[in-house]
Structure 1
């Protein structure tokens, strides 16, 4: 009895420690904020700055082209690129759709995301040393975004 209790405590605490060590805010800030804004609200990116509230993935603001410039309605060239809003949009997707978007660059309707969006499944977050992000890391980022208002 005592050994099974000890085994349960060890398994539970190691699982809890793994989950507790993932900081969605820190992961988001180091891998996503430069394009999606500090709190996932999108905006106009240019010369290292972000203007909050100007983003939107479905707002008709134009799409990024392969050169990193905007094309379509509202395109602004190399300076002032429209960064998609995640809060209240992609942050509300089912976890498996959010994960697919992050890893494969496919949105919730099966359409490709902008070519500028990294396909993290074939690259790595800054702290992952060449390995694709884990489901737990992506979930932590999505939870962070869901907490933003």
Structure 2
């Protein structure tokens, strides 16, 4: 099991959501206001069977995601990884073998200068001591004809 006793906050010991002084990385008020899902029962569809949400996308959680996603506060990825894992590790039986970060639209990644999912993936991989992989090969610089040939070959192999 993962030890969550690491010091996750800055030396000035402020809540990473509201910036109030605290003895933990999140103050009691923000932690109390950070709603958590107790169960996902009733969510339909197989694809949702393995989805876990540590908190609804409101309030402090929404602000945290927004800071990472749009304000470039990439240091929050490590803190978010701990929040996600503290919830996730209660729900699963085994640790995954690898992490796959969700790829980002290339134009948006260039505009922002980073992919927040890479930061989250690397933080989670580091905590769990498992690799982060990128199974997708970018096809920029490949002509349309070459892309079509690659697609046709992959379809033929799948048959």
- In the superposition, the TM-score normalised over structure 1's length comes to 0.25
Q: Which has the higher contact order (CA 8 A, sep 6+)?
A: 1
Higher helix share: 2
- Structure index of larger Rg: 2
Higher strand share: 1
- In the superposition, the TM-score normalised over structure 2's length comes to 0.24
